[in-house]
Amino acid sequence: MTATRTATDSRTAQVAPLIPREVLFGNPTRSGGQISPDGRWLSWLAPVNGVMNIWIAPADRPEAARSITAATERPIRQHFWSPDARSVLYIQDKGGDENFLLYAIDVASGQERNLTPFERTRVTIVGTSESRKDRILVGLNNRDARFHDVHLLNLNTGELTLVLENNSFTGFLADDNLDLRMAVRPNAAGGNDFFPIVNNQVAQTPSESTTLEDALTTSPAGFTTDGRTMYWIDSRGRNTAALIAQDVASGERRVIAQNERADIGGVLAHPRTGEIQAYSFTYLKPEWTAIDPKIGASLAFLRERLPGQFGVQSRTEDDTRWIVWNDPVTAPTKAYLYDRRARTLTEFYTSRPELSGAPLQPMHAFEIPARDGLILPSYLTLPPGSDRDGDGRPDKPVPMVMVVHGGPWARDGYGYNATHQWLANRGYAVLAVNFRGSTGFGKEFINAGNLQWGRKMHDDLIDAMNWAVERGVAQRDRVAIMGGSYGGYAALAGLTFTPETFACGVSIVGPSNLETLLKSIPPYWEPIISQFHNRMGNPNTPEGLQLIREASPLHKADRIVRPLLIGQGANDPRVAQAESDQIVSAMQAKNIPVTYVLFPDEGHGFARPVNNIAFNAVTENFLGSCLGGRAEPIGAALEPSSAQIVTGADYVRGLREVARN
């Protein structure tokens, strides 16, 4: 094992005050602001007795705010208005099991109802309507956990009416009349087949298909309200996904937008007509382009007044008022009320006002070349005081933490990032790399990651680390690797496949054995299991089984020589607790030190702020021991959490004194 560093080894951040964990990872003051479709109400999430709940206020009297939910343990993390503006809706699971149910609060009476009162059920929203405002289409897997049957839900009475019993499809598309128009099903080629639906009868043969190469970059994106135009995000015949409009009657298609470097990522559609008015793509930073001139004028108005990044998060149905988020990166995120007619912009709230004046650091975007020439879009944040000329290169090399995103079919992006700010404040450079397999950069970039878990995907991280060292960003012997989900796997892979490359690793809900991971996926993922097999390795073939065994850190656990910290939620339906248990057991069998923190009331990640803060308290003191950065003492951070220190309290500074098993 490497020698323990002292906290005085890293001096670049000593001039900056330590930002408390509670400020970075505790509850925001407000978040998720929405405006009701009729414009009469504002809503947002804010704490009630330390737990995030839904609040509302009349739009003309924001000071008359009141909470309308009473969550006491698990925070409500998102909400949305019913189309008729009579109720506020949210989904919630239990202890992180991801069996999400749909709840509604009647605005007039305050009555809360569970609209999907079933056990072991996960609800999906299939369709909403501009013309049938009191109803939505939902998918429920209470009959068969693998498939979601489609039901028509009356939001005001709670009545559920079966529309289509589903025994093979993974998704559906509906029009504004809430009529099902298309069903999606995986095919033998590793892609998807798209089946027309007429009168709730699914066609026997598909009208559209994709193969594996387009499976993650091609999908229907909805209809206009009149049902005459169908939109697609489509990479067929091109590398990056374009925005396509298809005339339903003739089948004729036209390209609305495309970009050579990135997939079309976001759109603004008119609340009433459904016609797309603007689109965005994100290569290094988000870029919006307006199709509608009036929308273009509004975006220009906002661009002149808001520093950094901004976006539209809620609109009235007459499109006269918006709620706009603004991310300056080096200041706390704000939300604004934008009156398009009056051309006024009024601050709604500051999400984390405690960060005002804090030493938040800029994020730098870079293109890093991999060894085979593939370009890896990446983001770097440096410690305060380390980069006096602001060129993204510190005055001298500093310790570094590589933070690897999950998925792996996801991506890192530009903007305020609490993890980056936290680690930079502690004295580390923070590097986030979009390795091959990440989404948003075209299908060739995604498919370059097929069958490359622990291989070229891992090589990309090593190449990025070497780039940072050679550029003078990082000290080679003081680089940690850290992440959640696939990022947790990457941390385990880093310490097993390249055991002396990283100084230490932090794995959060990371799979250690790809064979057991694929056997324990949630039942509603079973219909898409071929996607996993095609991109990871098929355990039903000798070659595929060998591939995933070779890529599994568990089988090389005896090679670990660097400190390892593991965090796990006991109720995780994606990466079961056994994934962490088995690598910890393998290390203990070889007398290899490991620290393992288990949260009995969490799932795939830590939703409760007290749990997140507790694990981060352990993490920053673990990193301080390995890399020499600063750390706020653990103190009482574990007391309000459910954290159980299963093993390894002696390997983290200050943990033994506060640990409980």
Q: What CATH code is carried by the domain that includes residue 642?
A: 3.40.50.1820
Q: Catalytic residues, which ones? A: 485, 572, 604
Listing DSSP states for 55-113 in one string gives EEEETT-TTS-EE----SSSPP---EE-TTSSEEEEEE-STT----EEEEEETTT--EE
Specify the pLDDT at position 14. Answer: 52
Is the pLDDT assigned to residue 12 strictly greater than 60? Answer: no
Contact 584, 602 (CB under 8 A): no
pLDDT in tens, 184-209: 999 989 999 999 999 999 999 999 99
Q: Which two three-digit tokens encode residue 8?
A: 């005085």
Residue 388 belongs to some domain of the structure? yes
Any residues with CB less than 8 A from the CB of 259 and at least 6 apart, and which? 240, 281, 283
Is the pLDDT assigned to residue 660 strictly greater than 90? Answer: no
Specify the pLDDT at position 209. Answer: 97
Q: Give the per-residue SS3 of 105-151.
A: EECCCCCEEECCCCCCCCEEEEECCCCCCCEEEEEEEEEECCEEEEE
Mean pLDDT of 577-582: 98
Specify the pLDDT at position 311. Answer: 97
In the block, which residue shows the tokens 């969550």?
A: 71
Of 348, 314, 355, the residue nearest 334 (C-alpha): 348
Mean pLDDT of 515-535: 94
Three-class secondary structure of residue 244 per DSSP:
strand
- Beta bridge pairs of residue 55: 44, 67
Specify the pLDDT at position 182. Answer: 97
For residues 569 and 98, what is the distance between their CA atoms, to the nearest angstrom?
Answer: 12
CA atoms within 13 A on the CB side of 352: 24
Is the pLDDT assigned to residue 383 strictly greater than 50? Answer: yes
pLDDT in tens, 248-295: 999 999 999 999 999 999 999 999 999 999 999 999 999 999 999 999
Is the pLDDT assigned to residue 130 strictly greater than 60? Answer: yes
**How would residue 19 be classed by pLDDT, with cut points 50, 70 and 90?**
very high
For residues 250 and 231, what is the distance between their CA atoms, to the nearest angstrom?
Answer: 14
What percent of the chain has pLDDT above 90?
97
Contact 275, 224 (CB under 8 A): yes
Q: Which two three-digit tokens encode residue 437?
A: 């397999």
Strand positions, DSSP E, 398-492: 398-404, 429-433, 474-484
Residue 350 belongs to some domain of the structure? no
Residue 626 belongs to some domain of the structure? yes
pLDDT in tens, 428-459: 999 999 999 999 999 999 999 999 999 999 99
Residue 391 belongs to some domain of the structure? yes
CA atoms within 13 A on the CB side of 165: 2
Specify the pLDDT at position 659. Answer: 81
Q: Left if phi > 0, otherwise alpha if psi is -120 to 50, otherwise beta: which for 315?
A: beta
For residues 415 and 446, what is the distance between their CA atoms, to the nearest angstrom?
Answer: 23
Contact 574, 604 (CB under 8 A): yes
Residue 489 belongs to some domain of the structure? yes
Is the pLDDT assigned to residue 89 strictly greater than 90? Answer: yes
Residue 285 belongs to some domain of the structure? no
b/e burial code for range 519-536 (CB count within 10 A of at least 16 → b)? ebbbebeebbebbbbbbb
For residues 102 and 158, what is the distance between their CA atoms, to the nearest angstrom?
Answer: 11
Residue 412 belongs to some domain of the structure? yes
Three-class secondary structure of residue 644 per DSSP:
strand
Specify the pLDDT at position 494. Answer: 98
Contact 42, 35 (CB under 8 A): yes
Contact 443, 415 (CB under 8 A): no
Calculate the alpha carbon distances from 245 to 177, 230, 232, 234, 567 in Å: 20, 6, 6, 10, 45
Cα-Cα-Cα-Cα dihedral sign, residues 145, 150, 156, 157: negative
Q: Which two three-digit tokens encode residue 221?
A: 């994106």
Mean pLDDT of 531-541: 95
Residue 585 belongs to some domain of the structure? yes
Mean pLDDT of 535-547: 96
Q: Which domain holds residue 562?
A: 356-513+552-658
Any residues with CB less than 8 A from the CB of 102 and at least 6 apart, and which? 89, 90, 91, 114, 115, 116, 123, 138, 153
Three-class secondary structure of residue 366 per DSSP:
strand
Output the pTM of the full model: 0.95
Q: How many Å separate Cα 216 from the centre of its chain?
A: 16
What percent of the chain has pLDDT above 70?
98
How many domains are there within the chain?
1
